[in-house]
Amino acid sequence: MSQTTLHPALQKLAVTHRRRLRSLGLLLFLAVAGLLMFLMVAAFTSRDAGNLLLLGLVGFLMLPVVASLGGIMWFLDRWLSRGLNEADQLLRDCAPQSARLTPLGRGDGMGLLAALRLATAQPASAPAHALINPAFRWSSPPSGEIEVRLHCRALAPDSPWVALGPDGAPLIGKIVDREARQRRRRWLAVALAVVSLIVAVLASALLG
């Protein structure tokens, strides 16, 4: 879906998404070009065969690196565009519902967890839990409880949703099971700790 056919509330977000992807691509290109330029200057000024071989090796290795970076950029573009298109479909198909979003703690790389309660829900009922997508964190996630217009097909785990704040800024995410998310975070922390320990042991063995 092109940017002009998106819902008006999402068009500014789409512009930001495209601009930041272009900036990231330019930054990666400058980093690769700067490294190659530095190696070329070092190799030709020293006139050392070892530096020339190093330049050739790095140039050869840069080919799969550049291809991998291009693939990552393409995947990131497709992933974020799919999120925008899904949010656009929700805004067009689902009637808005008044709701309150209350952030729970601080956001991380997996998103910002918030309690979601519909205005029509009973006060004694437990709120749903919504994860605000971290890929759209430049749309200013709320720092406190806010009233939103929620567009969502169902308040079931893994159901996507989009909410428009008081100023019309969109928030995009999905409904989650809080306990299941906490279990995944604990397992991820354990896995990262194990990987870090293995890397530290290998580095110590190599340096030793």
Cβ burial of 177 (10 Å; 0-12, 13-18, 19+) is middle
Over the stretch 130-185, which tens digit does the pLDDT of each residue have?
888 865 555 567 778 889 899 998 888 888 999 888 888 888 888 888 888 888 88
The pLDDT value given to residue 178 = 83
Task: With CA atoms as reference, report the closest residue to 180 among 105, 110, 121.
Answer: 110
- Element at 128 (helix H, strand E): strand 128-132
The pLDDT value given to residue 15 = 85
Eight-class DSSP state of 129: E
Ranges of residues in the chain whose predicted pLDDT is under 70: 1-4, 43-44, 46-52, 54-55, 107-109, 124, 134-140, 206-208
- Could you tell me if 39 and 23 are in contact, meaning their C-beta atoms sit under 8 angstroms apart? no
The b-or-e profile of 54-66 (16+ CB within 10 A means b, else e) is ebeebeeebeeee
Residue owning tokens 């929700």: 90
Furthest CA-CA distance within the chain: 78
User: CA-to-CA distance for 178 and 184, rounded, in angstroms?
Assistant: 10
Strands 160-164 and 170-176: antiparallel
This prediction has a pTM of 0.71
- The residue type at 154: A
User: CA-to-CA distance for 78 and 69, rounded, in angstroms?
Assistant: 14
The pLDDT value given to residue 151 = 92
The pLDDT value given to residue 189 = 85
The pLDDT value given to residue 3 = 54
The pLDDT value given to residue 149 = 92
Helix (H, G, I), strand (E, B) or coil at 144: coil
